[in-house]
Structure 1
Amino acid sequence: MKNILIIAMVLLGVLQLSCEQKNSVIFHESHELKKANAPFSDAVEIDNLFFLSGQIGMDHSTRTLVEGGIKAETLQTIKNIEAVLKHHNLGLENVIKCTVILSDINDFATFNEIYIQYFKQKPSRTTFAASGLAANASIEIEVVAFR
């Protein structure tokens, strides 16, 4: 058993080294000047994949949540995702995975009415509810996109 563990660790090290040599990771700065000092990247790029940080329904010009509940916040969240993607010459059609976090699972149907209008290619998706989203938001969406 000990030999198998050693072999696995060696193979993992070789695989990690191989990946590091082939793939460079780019931590992109935000296109929003007001987010320049945020402790995270709006997007991290590796090869042809873009991992976007979660977006909420915040109007970035005022740095406040939009009013109007889950519908308005969902629309603004998608606009914010589109802005980050556009900054990297991508669009919603490039999204291959969405993770959706709702503050109230009872908002699922309303959120989904908006969501299906924008993600027509049907990327894979995980949706769940959690309390205490950033800025007291009703929704947060993070995506992975492919160039």
Structure 2
Amino acid sequence: MDKIVKRIIATKTAPEPIGPYSQAVVADKTVYVSGCLGVSLETGKLVDGGAKEQAETALTHLKNVLRASGSNMNNVVKTTVFLQDFNDFPTVNQVYKEAFVRNFPARSCVQVAKLPMGALVEIEAIAVAGEN
């Protein structure tokens, strides 16, 4: 049986986890990125503004975690976007289109009752590592 390589990803360019989980885990050539929130690295609190600003910050953190794992936004194959209020969908969708400019990944987007820290947006991803 082949041995599978599992690597835990931790980077200072994204907020530290607020619970018992990793920023990302690489299993063989698949990268599983935990949900990213719009948290300021400087304050550890949600960024000022609304869903737009939180989505922009969450996607920046996602990019940074992917980079630390040896991947990038072009290698993302699936995302899940969690919204506290689905009325924010058009705003978040516009920010999302600026982050993923071609070969869009598969995506689910759902409204949830509550997100950690009272966030309005959380974004998780699955990507492949290496050259694409």
Task: Verify same fold: TM over 0.5.
Answer: yes
Bin of the TM-score, shorter chain as denominator length: 0.7 to 0.9
Which entry has the higher C-alpha Rg, 1 or 2?
1
Task: Give the secondary structure class of the aligned counterpart of 1:64.
Answer: coil
Assess, with a 3 A threshold, how the Cα gap between structure 1 residues 106 and 37 changes in structure 2: closer, same or farther: closer
Q: Structure 1 residue runs of 4+, over 2 Å off? A: 24-28, 32-38
* C-alpha deviation, 1:37, in angstroms: 8.0
Is 49-58 or 33-42 further displaced after alignment?
Answer: 33-42
Gaps in structure 1 of 5+ consecutive residues? 1-17
Letter in 1 for 2:26: E
TM-score normalized by structure 2? 0.88
Root-mean-square deviation (CA), in Å? 1.8
Letter in 1 for 2:126: V
Deviations 1:93-115 (A, max 9, x none): 11110000000011111110110
Alignment correspondent of 1:31 = 11
Identity rate of aligned residues, in percent? 31
Query: Higher relative CO (CA 8 A, sep ≥ 6), structure 1 or 2?
Result: 2
1:44 to 2, 25, 29: 25
TM-score normalized by structure 1? 0.79
Alignment correspondent of 1:108 = 89
Alignment of 1:4-83 (within 5 A): 18=1, 21-28=2-9, 30-32=10-12, 35=16, 38-83=19-64
- The number of residues matched between the two structures is 127
Is 1:135 the equivalent of 2:117? yes
